[in-house]
C-alpha cells in the first residue's frame, strides 16, 4: 500500500516540497538554517530520501539515508522542535493529498495509516540520532556527518 500511495505522493512531491519551504520561510528561526545552504540541492535530496522511504521496502539503503538525514540536522544544531514541526508540515500536506486523491473514501484512511506509520518510522530514526549523539556527547557541527554511512555508533 505504501508503494501505491508513494506513487501519488511522488507525482506531487515538487508541490509538497515547495509548500514546505514556503512554510519554513515564514519562521525566521527556521529560515536562518537555510540561508547558508543550496536549497535546490536540499530539495533534490529530500525527494530522493522520501522516494527511498516509499519505494525501497525499508531497505538498509533507506535506513542509512534516514540516519544521514538525522545526523545532518543534528550537525547544524537544528532544534528538535523545528525538526518535528517540519515533519508535521510534510505529513499534513501528504494527508491533504491522499484525502483529496481518494475523495475522502474509506480507502483513503487505509492509505493514510500506511503513510503515517512510514513517516513516523522515518522521524523515529532521525530523532534517535539526536538521542544517540547526545548520549555520546557528540558536538553539533563536528565531522561526524555520516555521509559515508560510517557513523561513530555503527
Helix 2-24 and helix 39-55, axial crossing angle in degrees, nearest 10 = 160
Predicted pLDDT at 145: 47
For residues 64 and 100, give the distance between their C-alpha atoms in angstroms, rounded to a whole number: 32
What average pLDDT does range 30-42 have in this prediction?
A: 90
**Domains observed in the chain:** 2-135 (1.10.490.10)
Residue with cell 521496502: 57
What average pLDDT does range 63-87 have in this prediction?
A: 90
Contact assessment for residue 127 and residue 111, using Cβ atoms and an 8 Å cutoff = no
For residues 30 and 143, give the distance between their C-alpha atoms in angstroms, rounded to a whole number: 23
Confidence at 35, pLDDT banded by 50, 70, 90: confident
Predicted pLDDT at 99: 86
For residues 154 and 89, give the distance between their C-alpha atoms in angstroms, rounded to a whole number: 31
Confidence at 106, pLDDT banded by 50, 70, 90: low
pTM, two decimals, is 0.77
What average pLDDT does range 109-125 have in this prediction?
A: 87
Number of neighbouring beta carbons within 10 Å of residue 6:
21
Amino acid at each position: 500500500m505504501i508503494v501505491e500511495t508513494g506513487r501519488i505522493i511522488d507525482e506531487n512531491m515538487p508541490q509538497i516540497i515547495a509548500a514546505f519551504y514556503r512554510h519554513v520561510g515564514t519562521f525566521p528561526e527556521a529560515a536562518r538554517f537555510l540561508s547558508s545552504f543550496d536549497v535546490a540541492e536540499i530539495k533534490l535530496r529530500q525527494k530522493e530520501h522520501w522516494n527511498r522511504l516509499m519505494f525501497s521496502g525499508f531497505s538498509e539503503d533507506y535506513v542509512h539515508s534516514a540516519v544521514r538525514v538525522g545526523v545532518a540536522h543534528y550537525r547544524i544544531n537544528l532544534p528538535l522542535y523545528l525538526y518535528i514541526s517540519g515533519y508535521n508540515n510534510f505529513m499534513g500536506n501528504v494527508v491533504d493529498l491522499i484525502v483529496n486523491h481518494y475523495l475522502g473514501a474509506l480507502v483513503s484512511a487505509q492509505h493514510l495509516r500506511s503513510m503515517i506509520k512510514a513517516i513516523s518510522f522515518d522521524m523515529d530514526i532521525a530523532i534517535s540520532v539526536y538521542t544517540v549523539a547526545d548520549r555520546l556527547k557528540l558536538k553539533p557541527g563536528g565531522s561526524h556527518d555520516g555521509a559515508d554511512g560510517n557513523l561513530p555508533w555503527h
